[in-house]
Structure 1
Amino acid sequence: MYQFRLLPRAKNEAKPRFDAALKQVRKTMTVSSFLTNMTIRTRLAGGFAVLLLLTIVVGLVGDRALESYGQRSNIVAMLGQVNTNLTEARVEEKNFLLTGEAQAVARTQAQGDRVLELTNEIKPLLAVAKDIETLGQIQADVKQYQRLMGEVETNIGEREAALERLETSARIFGSSLKAHSSLFFASAIFEDMRRSERKFLIEHDDASVKAYLDDAKRVQGPLKSAAITTEEKDQINAALKTYVNEFQTVVDLTNSGKQLSDDMVSTARSAIESANNLRALQTEKMEADREQASWLIFGATGIALILGILMALLITRAIVSPVNQAVSIASEVASGNLTVDIKASGTNEIGRLMAALATMVTSLRELVRSIESGASNIAASAEELSTVTSQTSDGINRQKQETDQVATAMNEMTATVGEIARSAEQAFSVAADAA
């Protein structure tokens, strides 16, 4: 027997490791004992339950992956519709700017409302803060676009009214100049003003405005030197002032309208660009979700397949190996070998079968021993009986010989008696004759 001597320090260091190893061994033995005592029904039910659970897990993983992919597809489709609605809004915007059709504005606003509805539907489907921020920017741009569209419509209406007033004031001022022949040079300057006015209305350039205002100042010279009454001068100056003010109003409305139009176009482009960027990003994520879904499904299927194979091997090994052992033992017993060693372990069906086989073999051993003992006793008794029988046969033979001797003696006696009788008969005959 080996004896180990550990130094105190080494003992203190080794004891925790030894205790941990002992706990692990006990845990392993407990698990092994639990698996050994598990019934076949429980093993089969557990195996099929694990397979069903793995199937459910694979199904859930696939369903979750497909749901994520489908949700992302819906987002991409709705963002595509947002882009379409924004494009149609731009088309209606151009129609309004070209034709001034009021229904075009209504259709533009309707397209904007549809975009807001779609973005409100998309928002709960987004999870990334940056994507939600981009969607919020689209909504803000669309609302700004709708507001600017309304302001542009108002501006165009005011500008058209201002143009009518400008034309009226121009006719009044021109008529007042033509009424006086002394204002010939003023009328010529007025024609220059009209040309600058028309040029500005076409080109919207600052040079035309400057030329117009310069002519407005220049026309006042001929007015001051004209041979007309002061009252007539005042009326003409008032008409000039009205004409210039109306032109300035048209200029202001034109410039503000141009700024509104530029802001509206910029806002619309920003919304479309944001929608396109978000759609492209969601498309990339959709492809990533599809790839991830494929890997998840393949991975879950592979894990389920491996675990299923392991479960099948474990269950098969746990059932077939003991059954084969039982068959081997039964074959040995059937061939007459009762010395086979049977080790029964566990409380399941296989364990009980092995215990029953062990009990059967033990009983057969005891029965064979009993039979052997009985056979030995019978053999001894038979031998004794044979001896007694032999002795009895010898006695019978002696008795037969003695009987034969007695019979011989009897025969001799009978013969003697016969002779005596014959002798007596002869004597009687002789006596009779003598008488």
Structure 2
Amino acid sequence: MDKLASRLRIGEKIGLGFALVGLLFVGVVWQYHQTLQSVLGDYHQLQGFELRKSLALEIEIELAAVRDAEKSFLIERRETFAGEVDQRLQTLLGKIAALAAVDQDSRQTAASLQELVTTYQQSFEAVAGAWRIMGLDENSGLQGAFRENVHRLQELSAAYNVDRLYTLLLQIRRSEKDLALRQDAAYRERVRKLLGELRQLLETSELQAAVRQQLLAELATYARTFEPYAERALKSGNIDGGKGPFRDAAHHIEAILTAYHVPNLETSVLQMRRREKDFLLRGDDSYPPMVVAIARSIRAQIAESALSDADKTLLTGLLHDYERDFLALVAQTSSIATLTREMNSAADRVAPLVKQNVDQANQVMASRVAEIDQSSQESARASLLLMSCAIVLSVVLALAITARIVRPVRQMAGLLDGLAYGRPSDHVPTISGGRDEINSMGESLNALVDHRTTFLRWWKESMDEVSARRELLGASTDEEKDEAMQDLRRATIARLQQLNAIRGRLLRHGEQVIEVAQRLQSAPGSLTAEDAKSLEHAAEGIATLFEVLAMEQVPAGDSAATPGAAPPAASG
């Protein structure tokens, strides 16, 4: 760690410290951003739940509008309501498509809703088509077809309804015979009165115009020829057996009425229409068999009548067409009932599905709110923990980087204090090759301490040698000379040791110079600031040591001139 720290300059250390602290706070900001993104995602999710509920409510409202338009169509059977149903269904499908875009659960619900609405739409279109075939009103479709036939049949049945005419004719004939039997003028008046009623009834009847004119002509003949017969019968009682032109005219009238008489035809047709109306009104399946039975009876009446084959064919054809269209209408009604049940079934399944979607959204929303509340608390705790850790790490980093800067400075301050007021023996810990300015200051200070120590030791040892030489020169006895020689020998040995130490330091500086030179040879022109500084320090160290060695020349010369001194080779 110390070696790594020494490779960095002070500015780089401070910048690295700020960068690490910045990275810590970037991590805090990133975690805050992630938390914010999570909160926004939760908010959008909750908003999606509300959107699901809102769309579900809109779907219910639109479905109710569709059902209202459908009921209006079924009641009034107007094309405008069918168009409104189709328009509402398109809007409803649009709402369902919007629901499908909310989330996955809504997409599944929307798929089921779309299937049901499509089924409902197809069923309604089938019902509307069936009603168009059946007839949206009494003049269209099957209703219009059988009504047209039955109205024509009803008109013809009125034309063949001669029961009243035939009854009046029989009453006239009875009064005619009563006149012949009793010769009472009241019967002549009765015949006249009945003739007037028959004439009036013929004129207002619905018989064919040609038949009506023929009957009126025969009736006029009967009235004209009856008067002479009645006059003779009243005056002379001569009735001639009740025969005469009037009798032939009456027979002609009776024959014509018989040829156009179908008993109770109009009544049967009206009875058949009554059962038809009952079915259309109530939809009861018991009425169609009644209509069929009455039609069969009418067919039998026509077949047994004295009508011409052409008239019988016309009447039975109209009756057959009516019966065919009515039975087709009955079948269509049954089909409409089935299709309506299918349509209602599809519509009835939409509402529970929408309610299920709302309930599911409420449940998921409540669960999600609880999860969001819990995750929010956890995120808040995590944010506080991360912020606390970031602050602690920032303080630790600041202290570590500050300690790496302050501790060497404090050591150098102590060393400088020792240089100023004492004799320092310690060195500032340094790392060779470090780029740290404080490390360089420490190396320089250590070199200063070493040089000072070298000079001081050199000066002390030189003074000891000078003192020993003086004592040797001033010795008067052999013992004093021996003791002075011992002191001189010790001083000389100490200087030799110091010279060896200086030589070792010179060798180290030389090796450093050689190392830098080799790097320059391997990469010419790539002299770095560190290499230049190393060369400078090595050169200065060599120069300083040479100055120490240069000072050796003075004591060495003195010793050579002094009697009893050690030879120069011994001091070198």
Normalised TM-score (structure 2): 0.48
Q: How does 1:144-159 map to 2 (within 5 A)?
A: 144-159=119-134
Q: CA, structure 1 residues 234+175, in 2 after alignment: closer, same or farther (shift >3 Å)?
A: closer
1:244 aligned to 2:327?
yes
Contact preservation (8 Å) 2:429, 2:442:
yes
Contact preservation (8 Å) 1:96, 1:105:
yes
Report the secondary structure of 1:161's partner residue: coil
Aligned to 1:115: 95
* Matching residue's letter, 1:114: G
Q: CA, structure 1 residues 370+117, in 2 after alignment: closer, same or farther (shift >3 Å)?
A: farther
CA RMSD between the two structures: 4.4
Quote the Cα distance in structure 1 between the aligned partners of 2:120 and 2:460: 113
1:330 aligned to 2:413?
yes
Q: CA, structure 1 residues 343+75, in 2 after alignment: closer, same or farther (shift >3 Å)?
A: same
Aligned to 2:195: none
Report the secondary structure of 1:223's partner residue: helix
Aligned to 2:430: 344
Quote the Cα distance in structure 1 between the aligned partners of 2:51 and 2:392: 45
Contact preservation (8 Å) 1:152, 1:261:
no
Q: CA, structure 1 residues 242+142, in 2 after alignment: closer, same or farther (shift >3 Å)?
A: closer
Deviation at 1:278, TM superposition (A): 6.2
Which has more helix, going by share of residues?
A: 1
Deviation at 1:342, TM superposition (A): 3.1
Aligned to 2:554: none
Deviation at 1:285, TM superposition (A): 7.3
- Shifted more, 93-102 versus 270-279: the winner is 270-279
2:336 pairs, out of 240, 243, 253, with 253
1:62 aligned to 2:45?
no
Report the secondary structure of 2:264's partner residue: helix
Deviation at 1:319, TM superposition (A): 1.9
Contact preservation (8 Å) 1:333, 1:340:
no
Q: How does 1:361-372 map to 2 (within 5 A)?
A: 361-366=449-454, 369=457
* Matching residue's letter, 2:4: F
Q: CA, structure 1 residues 84+244, in 2 after alignment: closer, same or farther (shift >3 Å)?
A: same
Q: How does 1:161-176 map to 2 (within 5 A)?
A: 161=136, 164=139, 165=141, 167-168=143-144, 169=146, 173=150, 176=153
Quote the Cα distance in structure 1 between the aligned partners of 2:440 and 2:119: 84
Q: How does 1:102-141 map to 2 (within 5 A)?
A: 102=82, 104-115=84-95, 117-119=97-99, 121-122=101-102, 126=103, 133-141=108-116
Contact preservation (8 Å) 2:272, 2:295:
no
Contact preservation (8 Å) 2:135, 2:143:
no
1:269 pairs, out of 339, 351, 359, with 351
* Matching residue's letter, 1:161: L
* Matching residue's letter, 2:24: L
Aligned to 1:28: none
Report the secondary structure of 2:406's partner residue: helix
Q: CA, structure 1 residues 109+372, in 2 after alignment: closer, same or farther (shift >3 Å)?
A: farther
Aligned to 1:84: 57
Normalised TM-score (structure 1): 0.61
Deviation at 1:323, TM superposition (A): 0.9
Q: Deviations over 1:67-112 (max 9, x none)?
A: 4224424533443343233123212212312333355325413423
Contact preservation (8 Å) 1:158, 1:253:
no
Q: CA, structure 1 residues 285+115, in 2 after alignment: closer, same or farther (shift >3 Å)?
A: farther
- Shifted more, 334-343 versus 285-294: the winner is 285-294
Aligned to 1:34: 4
Aligned to 2:231: none
Bigger radius of gyration, 1 or 2? 2
Contact preservation (8 Å) 1:329, 1:340:
no
Contact preservation (8 Å) 1:151, 1:260:
no
Quote the Cα distance in structure 2 between the aligned partners of 1:187 and 1:236: 13
Q: Deviations over 1:12-34 (max 9, x none)?
A: xxxxxxxxxxxxxxxxxxx6743
Aligned to 2:502: none
Q: CA, structure 1 residues 359+32, in 2 after alignment: closer, same or farther (shift >3 Å)?
A: closer
Q: CA, structure 1 residues 140+59, in 2 after alignment: closer, same or farther (shift >3 Å)?
A: farther
Quote the Cα distance in structure 2 between the aligned partners of 1:76 and 1:65: 17
Q: Which runs of 5+ in 2 are unaligned?
A: 74-80, 162-262, 472-572
- Shifted more, 360-369 versus 251-260: the winner is 360-369
Aligned residues: percent identity?
7
Q: CA, structure 1 residues 147+69, in 2 after alignment: closer, same or farther (shift >3 Å)?
A: farther
Quote the Cα distance in structure 1 between the aligned partners of 2:133 and 2:18: 84
Deviation at 1:309, TM superposition (A): 1.7
Q: Deviations over 1:337-386 (max 9, x none)?
A: 52345323583345445444444444554465567678889999999xxx
Contact preservation (8 Å) 1:138, 1:271:
yes
* Matching residue's letter, 1:247: V
Contact preservation (8 Å) 1:186, 1:223:
yes
Report the secondary structure of 1:339's partner residue: coil
Task: Count residues in correspondence.
Answer: 340
Q: Deviations over 1:16-67 (max 9, x none)?
A: xxxxxxxxxxxxxxx6743564442353143234224313422441343144
2:386 pairs, out of 303, 308, 325, with 303
Q: Which structure ranks higher in relative contact order (CA pairs < 8 Å, sequence separation ≥ 6)?
A: 1
* Matching residue's letter, 2:27: L
Quote the Cα distance in structure 2 between the aligned partners of 1:171 and 1:146: 33
Quote the Cα distance in structure 2 between the aligned partners of 1:255 and 1:234: 32
- Shifted more, 97-106 versus 361-370: the winner is 361-370
Quote the Cα distance in structure 2 between the aligned partners of 1:286 and 1:315: 43
Quote the Cα distance in structure 2 between the aligned partners of 1:174 and 1:187: 10
Contact preservation (8 Å) 1:193, 1:212:
yes
Quote the Cα distance in structure 1 between the aligned partners of 2:127 and 2:450: 109
Q: CA, structure 1 residues 297+96, in 2 after alignment: closer, same or farther (shift >3 Å)?
A: same
Contact preservation (8 Å) 2:150, 2:319:
yes
1:194 aligned to 2:277?
yes
* Matching residue's letter, 1:241: R
Aligned to 1:213: 288
* Matching residue's letter, 2:150: F
Q: Which runs of 5+ in 1 are unaligned?
A: 1-30, 201-207, 384-435
Quote the Cα distance in structure 2 between the aligned partners of 1:149 and 1:376: 130
Contact preservation (8 Å) 1:176, 1:236:
yes
